[in-house]
Structure 1
Amino acid sequence: MPHSEQQIEDLITTTEPWLLLVARVSDPMQIDALPAQKKRLFEYASRQVRPYAYVEFDETAYKGARAVFRKKVIDPILRAQSLVVVTFDKIDRFSRDSSSDERALFGKLLKQGRIELHFPSDNLFIHRDSPAPDLFRLDIGVALSSYYASTTRDNVKRKFEEMVEDRGEWIAKAPIGYRNIDTGVRRDGPKSRTIKDIKPHDKIRHHVVLAFELRSAGMSYAVVTKQLRRVGMLSSEKGRPIPKRQVEHLLQNPFYMGQMRYRGRLYPHKYEPLIPRWLWKKVQEVNERRTAARTKYASKEHIYRDSIRCGICGYTVLTDGPKKGKYYYLKCTEYGGSHDAKWANENVISKQVAERVFGSFRIPEERLPSLLQELEQDSEEVARFHKDQLRRLRAEHSQIDEDIKEMFRDRHRFTIRPELFDELVAEKTNRQADINEDIGEIESGNEPQFLKSAKELVELASRAQDLFLNEDVRISQKNKLLRIPLSNLTWDGENIDFELKDTYAAISSCRKNENWRALVHKFRTDCRDEILRLKHDPNFRALVDQPQDT
């Protein structure tokens, strides 16, 4: 008489053989296939004279630890006190739904006589004493199913690569600051899947921009995280205050500036960037600098923290103090090898910085009114410059297109080193992205913002030296003041050496020559992009927006 379905726990302790009916699919989209498997398995069980239990689930054999398969199939078999007849509908349900380790375990249990494998729809029943033809049929079935699974996996992989490389589509969950949406539009007819898209999250996108702006100012991950929590940014995972680990990942994700990282390579995507490329590059420079400069003094506040390096070996210059309540001293760490570095009083360095750095681009107070007035005057020369610049940028963009096409035509030359081909193409496409950004900046005009930032710049340049020498100005403000004009500052034990950013170098040059008209021209041409970026520079904004904060 046929048995009815029973609970696995009741059968594990029995001493008579029993059937474990297994129905499984590898994708939630295939759930509809489970009832047909269940029907055939129950029809087979009804013809047997043994008790049986039934399990079903969806779980892929190619990802993770396969917790469900182990819990529902392997663990009951290992705990069973009698023979377990493990029954799959077909061979492919066993071979495609089992990993190589699991198949090896089943083979071991078969030899021990602890299980049998039944495949009723294939009319194949495997036990410890099965003849060679049956075992051969099982091996062939496993091999064919493995081949089919591998082919399917390759097709999926190629589909993903086509989506990423050719269509610029991201294939995973959108990073924080974006959201996944369903457009409702079907790609290939009424029964096909709807097209998915990624859009900026209106409530979070400005938090992402703030994170990059804060990091670009040299702030630590901990400080950036604290500021983001203060404005209410939450984790994308559990809705809790965002953790530092997620902030670190966010600030290293190129998705926000227009590129996606897939299988270790960068590809341009079709979605709206949240930050400009220059801000991304600046943050990566900060990441590299802070990683290289971590010391036990990192939590202390100093004027020259993360701003000065040794002029002899290039390594970090650390600050110690205050000594006797007011004196700070600097010395090279000599991580690159001893060179008899000496401690130097911070005041000695600051005196040189005030005179040689800030004094070099100080704009005389009597020159400010006329300089500001000249900045406001339109210039046909500037318009011609921008027109020539647009023509040059578009020509370069077109030439890069031709270069890339030529590289693809001659791709066979890179068969020995295919990674070199990818690097060269990425280099050229990155340059094209920079060109597009430059063209967009020129075409947008931004004249009101340019004038505002330019005026703020010359006003700050005129009083930067006084701010730096003012003992009432906070150390954190002086540190910001250092970062604004300098691209490099070194100390060799006796003298500083430095490089000014282009805008401040232009002021310094015109100051020496007393040619302020030339400065206006440089501001509107060579320095225009750098001046427009001051709108997003946290160090600059902190000093310009709240100059009275000392």
Structure 2
Amino acid sequence: MNAEPVDGAKSGGRAVVYLRVSSQGQVDTDYDPEGNSIPAQRKACERKAQELGFEIVEEYVDPGRSGMEVKNRPAFQEMMARIRNQKDIDCVIVYARSRIHRNATDAGLTRRELKQLGVSLVSVRDFTDDSEVGDMVGTILDAVNEYQSRASGADIAYKMEAKAKRGGTPGRAKLGYINMIEEVDGRNIRTVKTDPERRSFIPLIFEMFATGEYSTPQLRDAVTRLGLRSRPTKQHPAGRPISNHKIDQVLRDRYYLGHVTYKGREYPGRHVALVSQVVFDRVQALLETRTGAGTRQRVYDHPLKSGLSCGRCGGRIYLDRGKNQRGVVYFYFICLGIRDRSCDLPRLRAEQVDVAVADHFTTLQLGKSFITATRSAIEAGMKDAAKLGQQMRRKLRKERARIAEQRSQLLDLVGNWPQDLLDAKMSDLSDQLVRIDGELESTDSAPVIEAGKAVNTLLELLDDPRGLYRSLTDKGKRRFVQACFAKLYVNADEHTEAPFIERDELRPPFTPLLGGYEKRQRRESPLASTSSSKATCSNGDPLVELRGFEPLTFSMPWKRATNCAKAP
């Protein structure tokens, strides 16, 4: 209904105009930076002001702001503050009541405040009157506007969820993808395709992080130097560097595996996956180990940083810097327990700890007979793995094709079956596909062969692990220590304060290989009494059989090859 001034309505005086659109998408619809809607609202408000004899003294614009809450609309807040403080406004002109409010409660509060200040509200499209009838009509219109907003929101949410269930991507495409409109059988279908300019950066981000050589800030700087920028926006037409937070989001997002998550539920997506499950899992494992690890690479760095624990109290040890009277800078390791005097481990010079770690690597040295027998078993194991893997892959691929066909048939039933039953069945089939994909991956003989080669190389390197450690760069030392040990517990001689490694926590495959090592250690816990000598260990053959060494026995849930697992 067009507004017509009736008895009781003000005319003439000073007015302000308030303009608003709900989303940024309504702004970005024309060559004009304001889009189409705001200029159209402005023109209609100017005509109404001229018709009623008002002089427009100010204009307030909230582009891309929801009408449900006033607290997120800076222009509206500024307008109300001006009306309260300067008291020089007679009228607020809007294109429609829905432009100033989509919330009946806020609308009522604003209407009452404007009336107390002697300011009338004029709508170009809606009935406007300062009488009791006008108040009643305004209240009804405000309630209808709120209902329409909420109903529209619920309808959009339902459609977005339905789209996710069918594998579509609700909302804006993620980094590495772009939104597109495809014409299919005369219909415009909104879909997502890979971004030709940015897609190659996504696997690169994952692969670089999976090396363990990059922190999030370092990774962000590296890909920025390689040319990665965000998609163009009005404020940044050429794009801008990706933030550290965005890099972290990308590394954790299962969307890049080909999945769509909506309201906490995951669905198989129609978009192209940019990252393999193997690389994604490796990245997640690395992120997990870094969470709370205490490594702040922007301060001081050292190859043993965050890998040491206190041999006396079991607490964390951190790296700090000192300077002597001659101004020479040196680094040392300190137990956190010193702060509250719960531990008496002295400060340990970093270079002395490095020597202690090198000496400790002699405990990883393996016997010659063990190495020979292991190499023979690896060769037999790789042959068995290849043969068994081929058989299992044929069966798994056949089963996967059957389940995929079932899921495809269920998608055709969307709208005919009860939604909860369809969701449950789809979820079950998706779980089966994920499980089979995992089993297919585990039956691939290539990783087994690569693992065998890696173990052979490892055996060669472990012929002299101490010498290998001392020959490495700082980066190489860090990776070697992280590959062998989950933790190293450092202590100090009670007389000389010389550091030594009291005990360790081995990583696979060293745990089964050297399982008897901890039993042979002289100090069995970090709380044991100290001694003036370093912990020693026999360098003889380990006391575990080869079947404890994972790469030597290829296994599936229903079958295991054990003919290659024989003790020397």
For the aligned pair, the TM-score class normalised by the smaller chain equals: 0.5 to 0.7
Deviation, 1:382, is 2.4
Structure 1 equivalent of residue 535 of structure 2: none
Structure 2 equivalent of residue 530 of structure 1: none
Structure 2 equivalent of residue 217 of structure 1: 212
Structure 2 equivalent of residue 155 of structure 1: 155
Cα contact 1:229–1:242 (8 A) shared by 2: yes
2:111 maps to 1:112: no
Deviation, 1:202, is 6.0
Residues of 2 paired with 1:69 and 1:296: CA distance?
Answer: 44
Local SS of the residue matching 1:145: helix
Q: How does 1:118-517 map to 2 (within 5 A)?
A: 118-119=122-123, 122-126=126-130, 130-131=131-132, 133-164=133-164, 166-176=165-175, 178-185=176-183, 190=187, 194-199=189-194, 201=196, 203-206=198-201, 208-211=203-206, 213-214=208-209, 217=212, 219-236=214-231, 238=236, 239-259=239-259, 269-294=269-294, 299-310=299-310, 315-318=315-318, 332-334=335-337, 338=342, 340-341=344-345, 346=353, 349-350=356-357, 353-356=360-363, 358-360=364-366, 374=380, 377=383, 382-383=388-389, 386=392, 390=396, 435-441=435-441, 445=444, 447=446, 451-452=449-450, 454-464=452-462, 466-470=464-468, 471-486=470-485, 488-491=486-489, 493=491, 495-502=502-509, 505=512, 512=542
Residues of 2 paired with 1:50 and 1:300: CA distance?
Answer: 67
Change (3 A) 1:467 1:79: same
Local SS of the residue matching 1:124: coil
Structure 2 equivalent of residue 85 of structure 1: 91
Cα contact 1:364–1:462 (8 A) shared by 2: no
Provide, for residues 46-102 of structure 1, a one-character-per-residue CA deviation record: whole Å limited to 9, x for no partner: 65455568978864324783345567x657756877553334455445543x78657
Cα contact 1:17–1:82 (8 A) shared by 2: no
Cα contact 2:14–2:55 (8 A) shared by 1: yes
Provide, for residues 12-71 of structure 1, a one-character-per-residue CA deviation record: whole Å limited to 9, x for no partner: xxx951555667553555987789978976776665455568978864324783345567
Which one-letter code corresponds to 1:495 in the other structure? Answer: E
Cα contact 1:182–1:197 (8 A) shared by 2: yes
RMSD over aligned Cα atoms: 5.5
Structure 2 equivalent of residue 538 of structure 1: none
Residues of 2 paired with 1:320 and 1:79: CA distance?
Answer: 56
Local SS of the residue matching 2:480: helix
Gaps of 5+ in 2: 1-10, 30-34, 408-417, 492-500, 517-540, 557-568
Residues of 1 paired with 2:259 and 2:428: CA distance?
Answer: 14
Cα contact 1:363–1:461 (8 A) shared by 2: no
Normalised by the size of structure 1, how large is the TM-score? 0.65
Deviation, 1:474, is 1.8
Structure 1 equivalent of residue 73 of structure 2: 66
Which one-letter code corresponds to 1:160 in the other structure? Answer: M
Matched length: 476
Change (3 A) 1:99 1:333: farther
Residues of 1 paired with 2:168 and 2:340: CA distance?
Answer: 45
More off after superposition, 138-147 vs 155-164: 155-164
Cα contact 1:252–1:284 (8 A) shared by 2: yes
Cα contact 1:503–1:523 (8 A) shared by 2: no
Structure 2 equivalent of residue 17 of structure 1: 13
Identity, % of aligned positions: 17
Residues of 2 paired with 1:297 and 1:180: CA distance?
Answer: 34
Cα contact 1:328–1:346 (8 A) shared by 2: no
Change (3 A) 1:292 1:463: same
Structure 1 equivalent of residue 521 of structure 2: none
Local SS of the residue matching 2:129: strand
Residues of 2 paired with 1:290 and 1:322: CA distance?
Answer: 26
Q: How does 1:508-547 map to 2 (within 5 A)?
A: 512=542, 522=552, 524-525=554-555
Local SS of the residue matching 1:140: helix
Gaps of 5+ in 1: 1-14, 402-408, 412-421, 527-550
Residues of 1 paired with 2:544 and 2:210: CA distance?
Answer: 37
Deviation, 1:480, is 0.7
Deviation, 1:472, is 2.9
Provide, for residues 222-246 of structure 1, a one-character-per-residue CA deviation record: whole Å limited to 9, x for no partner: 3333433443433556544544444
More off after superposition, 142-151 vs 292-301: 292-301
Higher helix share: 1
More off after superposition, 345-354 vs 222-231: 345-354
Change (3 A) 1:35 1:167: same
Change (3 A) 1:347 1:427: farther
Provide, for residues 126-159 of structure 1, a one-character-per-residue CA deviation record: whole Å limited to 9, x for no partner: 2xxx33x432232222222222222222222333
Which one-letter code corresponds to 2:481 in the other structure? Answer: L
Deviation, 1:252, is 3.9
